Amino acid sequence: KTCITFLKDLVHIDFDSRIVKGGDQIDLGGGHILDFVIAPNLHWPDTMFTYDNKTQIMYTCDAFGMHYCSDQVTDKESVETLEPHYKLYYNCLMRPNARSVLIALKKAGDLPGEVAAIATGHGPMLCENKDVWMDKYQGWSDIATKKLGPSVCILWVSRHGESERLAQAFAYSLTQQDILVEMHDLNAIDAFEVAECCMRNQVIVVFTPPQGDSTAQRNLSSALTSCNVKENKFVVCASGGEKDEPVDALVSRWVQSGFQEALPGLKTQAGSDAKNLAFFEGSGLALAKALLSKTKAAAKDKLDAQTMQALGKMGGGRYIISANKGEIRSGAIATWVMPASSEPPPFAVSV
């Protein structure tokens, strides 16, 4: 239903449509019977897998994709060649919803026939090594969900400014630090799902919806009433859209309700898109460090006195490494720096 509404707003013409749900079938004739599997949040809230019983092809929208293009229509290139692109795509778009990946894989296992090939929305059709690619999704998602450390829920707003891109940049930095993340579209989630995700996660990250009465605004209000001041903290992020709800106004609403900020409100940065994305990635990393600080402190407390004494006798240096590319500037503290070769003169760093 959400997809049909989106398409109508996109093409502005009337077209025939039919709303289906998980378990429905459509007979196209000639043996082409379509089965539908609900796979929400991969990475759209209403994502569905469609299985053609005759060709045994499963159409998966964004799932199992990669941002990769070559002369090959299918995955004839080696797993070693394609895996870096496949994993980067997974980490950016699927890992934040690893729970949903596992649920979708389980449902796909209940299809009426074997899956001979996977037709994705991005990248080659997967048929040469289809089982390998599915196993990788299973393994990566198992690892992501077993790391039962701090968890964050990101509520973004579809079709509004840069909300989706900025939310993905923020989420990517969190998942790279093994923070468990789930993402939901405020235009598609319902009040029950909002309450559930607030109960599951420590930090609720909210991207600003447009001002005025809307589904996103109502779900934002549900998030505020569903959270617990003793268990949840919040972060408000700008979406960069027209008539954005002001970041400071939303921060004030949460603070007046007794909640603490996990990070100060994040506003879009003047300058290039790259600079803005880097700012939100850096902010996600800052939140991850804050959430992991207690875990690291607890691990340090477990070290006995003799271990600490031995570590104190080990020599080491401290270096400040800075870098810039265009408008993006960053820095880090390194513990080890050495020349890597004489010509050209690069150096190796341990951060």
Residue 335 has what DSSP assignment? S
pLDDT of residue 178: 80
Q: Is the peptide bond before 346 cis (omega within 30 degrees of 0)?
A: no
Task: Please confirm whether the linkage preceding 344 is cis (ω < 30° from 0).
Answer: yes
Higher pLDDT, 277 or 200: 277
H/E run at residue 171: helix 163-176
d(CA 36, CA 49): 6
Q: Are 281 and 173 in contact (CB under 8 A)?
A: yes
- How far apart (Å, rounded) are the C-alpha atoms in residues 161 and 10? 15
Strand partners for 49: 37
pLDDT in tens, 227-243: 999 999 999 999 999 89
Give residue 136's pLDDT: 97
pLDDT at 264 over 80: yes
Measured CA distances, 182 to 23, 99, 154, 191, 260 (Å):
25, 8, 6, 16, 20
pLDDT at 271 over 90: no
Task: Determine the pLDDT at residue 214.
Answer: 92
Least confident of 194-203, 239-248, 275-284, 306-315: 306-315
pLDDT single digits (tens) 143-188:
888 766 789 999 999 889 999 899 999 998 998 888 888 888 898 8
- Please write the tens of the pLDDT for every residue from 4-60: 877 888 888 889 998 887 888 999 999 999 999 888 778 776 789 999 999 999 999
Gap between the terminal Cα atoms of the chain:
48
Mean pLDDT in residue range 198-210? 94
User: Could you give the count of Cα atoms lying within 13 Å of 46 in the half-sphere of its Cβ?
Assistant: 15
- Which residue type is seen at 266? L
Task: Round to whole Å and give the CA distance between 347 and 342.
Answer: 9
pLDDT tens-place string over residues 72-92 = 999 999 999 999 999 999 998
Q: What's the sign of the alpha-carbon dihedral 90, 95, 101, 102? A: positive
Mean pLDDT computed over every residue of the chain: 88
Q: What is the mean pLDDT of residues 97-112?
A: 88
Banded model confidence at residue 301, pLDDT cuts 50, 70, 90: low
pLDDT above 80: residue 263: yes
Residue whose tokens read 């897998």: 49
- Grouping H, G, I as helix, E, B as strand and the rest as coil, residue 300 is helix
| Backbone Cα Rg of the chain | 23
User: What residues are paired with 118 via a beta bridge?
Assistant: 58, 126
Confidence check: pLDDT of 248 > 90: yes
Distance set, CA 336 to CA 236, 262, 333, 342 (Å): 37, 32, 9, 18
pLDDT of residue 30: 96
Whether the pLDDT of residue 222 is over 70: the answer is yes
State how far the Cα of 280 lies from the Cα of 169, in Å rounded to an integer.
Answer: 6
By percentage, how much of the chain surpasses pLDDT 90? Answer: 56
Q: Quick one: pLDDT band at residue 130, thresholds 50, 70, 90? A: very high
Mean pLDDT of all residues in 304-321: 69
